[in-house]
Structure 1
Amino acid sequence: MEWKLLSSEYLHKEPWLTLRRDRCALADGRVVDPYYVLEYPDWANGMAVTEDNKVILVRQYRHAIGKVLLEIPGGVIDTTDASPEIAMKRELLEETGYAFSEIYNLGAVAPNPSTSTNLTHMFLALGGKKVQEQQLDDNEEIEVILADVAEVEQMLKDHQFLQSLHVSCLFYGLQKYRELKAAVLPK
């Protein structure tokens, strides 16, 4: 079922948009030409919970769809980040001002594997403590919101999160959060 890459040509190459045109051979010999691929760096996002069990949400404007969205913290994994976990810690600190005592890897999902090359690495961060003010990029304006776990669950049920990668992370994060809480409850 795998395709064989016959040739590849970059049509546009900038830090935030890299587009290439591939020529591919299918297993049965047919040729697909052109097949367009968007190259993006990997991303990290996280369900972040403070030491008093509040989930940190962020609200920010998303220009491509022209809406202010309720989301979870996250962003691009920079080439200087040693790992996705390091990138997540950096993004949490920059966007929220919180540092975390525990970080759990929840796996990765592919945002759009038919046309995009990247993965989104998901995390659950616990024990968050406010240690600094936000350190936002020039084009970022992010409002930090704290919510109870039950409120976040209800927000999910009410479809208040539009960003599908964040919905996925919250789904896995809530599962792991419940698992960890159940492990410390008296038997």
Structure 2
Amino acid sequence: MVQEKDLSWKTLSSEYLFRDTWFTLRSDTCETRDGRIIKPYYVYEFPTWVIAVALTDDGKFIFERQYRHALGVTTLELPGGCVDATDATLDAAVRRELVEETGYTFEKVEYLGKTSANPSTNNNWAHFFLATGGLKMQEQHLDFNEEIEVCLHSADELKQLLRSGGIVQSMHVTALFYALTRMGLLDW
């Protein structure tokens, strides 16, 4: 087996340019293994994210329809959000997000894996879960800037949405890949 070369950089300094609840921007000065100085290297700091592929007790996939201002479009997305400091675990965070955004609680929540939205600039992970046995237990409890319409889709409708580009959030498409594979609905 070939020994892999260490390609990591050394951070010489960091300067915070902007800090807010959901987004922080810093400028790093870095040194490569061969001594080159990289300045500035911008890093976007975000909280850890959790995303759920959630199914009702009768097997319908739960989606959220909401407006996304950056692209100026209304999209279909999966439930999820940021891990809060009060969340004891990732499981607790995804369960909290599910009930807040959809009003559903779930019999089982299973960890599927994680991905990075963009490891060249973002410092956080997005963790995926499969939540099954969902029952509507309460009304939504949304943040001040959220207006979410809950939509239910069958597996066939979900597959058609994926084929037609009806789901545009790349991390959500990735979460669906993990979940559909785990559920035996996707063979590759």
Tell me the TM-score normalized by structure 2. Answer: 0.93
* Whole-Å separation in 2 of the counterparts to 1:7 and 1:172: 38
Runs of 5+ unmatched residues, structure 1: 180-187
Match of 2:19 in 1: 13
Q: CA deviation at 1:178?
A: 2.0
TM-score by length of 1: 0.94
2:3 is matched with: none
Residue 62 (structure 2) pairs with residue 62 (structure 1): no
Q: How far is the alpha carbon of 1:17 from its aligned partner? A: 2.2
- Which residue does the alignment assign to 2:135? 129
Aligned to 1:151: 157
- 2:114 counterpart residue number: 108
Kindly tell me the number of residue pairs found equivalent between the two proteins: 179
Work out whether 1:170 is the aligned partner of 2:145. Answer: no
In structure 1, how many angstroms separate the alpha carbons of the residues matched to 2:102 and 2:21?
24
Q: CA deviation at 1:154?
A: 1.5
* Residues 111-165 of structure 1 deviation map (CA, whole Å, 9 limit, x = unaligned): 1110010100000000000100111111110000011012101211111101001
Secondary structure at 2:184 match in 1:
helix
d(CA) in 1 for partners of 2:116 and 2:56?
28
Q: Which amino acid is 1:14 matched to? A: D
Q: Which amino acid aligns with 1:163?
A: Q
Question: Following the alignment from structure 2 to structure 1, what is the Cα–Cα distance between the partners of residues 22 and 87?
Answer: 17
Distance 1:54 1:17 in 2: 33
The C-alpha deviation readout for 1:88-121, integer Å capped at 9, x for no partner, is 0001000100000011101110011100101000
CA RMSD of aligned residues (A): 0.9
SS in 2 for 1:128: strand
Identity %: 51
CA distance in 2, matches of 1:114, 1:168: 18
Which one of 118, 128, 139 corresponds to residue 124 of structure 2? 118
Deviation at 1:16, TM superposition (A): 2.2
SS in 1 for 2:52: strand
1: CA distance, partners of 2:184 / 2:33: 45
2:88 aligned residue (82, 96, 101): 82
Verify: 1:38 aligned to 2:44, yes or no: yes
Q: Secondary structure at the match of 2:122?
A: coil
